Amino acid sequence: LSAMAISLALVWNNLFVMMIWGAIVLTFFALSVLTGLVGLVVVFPLLGHGTWHAYRAIRPNPAEDERVFLSPE
């Protein structure tokens, strides 16, 4: 499956949690706008890191992430 298909399946199967996460992202972004976008310096890395950990936590087969990719010979 493609990354997009996996992501869509994860969102669909965890819709309530994803809606809460979307509300958190919207709130943090709104707070950043209120600070004249200076808050994005803190908010973007925080949300990116949180999203990465959340995605890895709900993946059905996280062992695939540990593969080493070698260039073809």
Structural domain boundaries in the chain? 3-60
| CA 53 from centroid of its chain's CA atoms | 7
Summarize pLDDT for 41-70 with one digit per residue, the tens.
999 999 999 988 888 888 766 556 555 445
Model-level pTM?
0.68
Q: What is the mean pLDDT of the chain?
A: 83
Summarize pLDDT for 21-48 with one digit per residue, the tens.
999 999 999 999 999 999 999 999 999 9
Is the pLDDT score of 19 beyond 80?
yes
pLDDT of the residue at 2: 77
Angle at CA of residue 59, ends 32 and 13, nearest 5°: 80
- As a whole number of angstroms, the distance between CA 31 and CA 69 comes to 39
Is the pLDDT score of 14 beyond 70?
yes
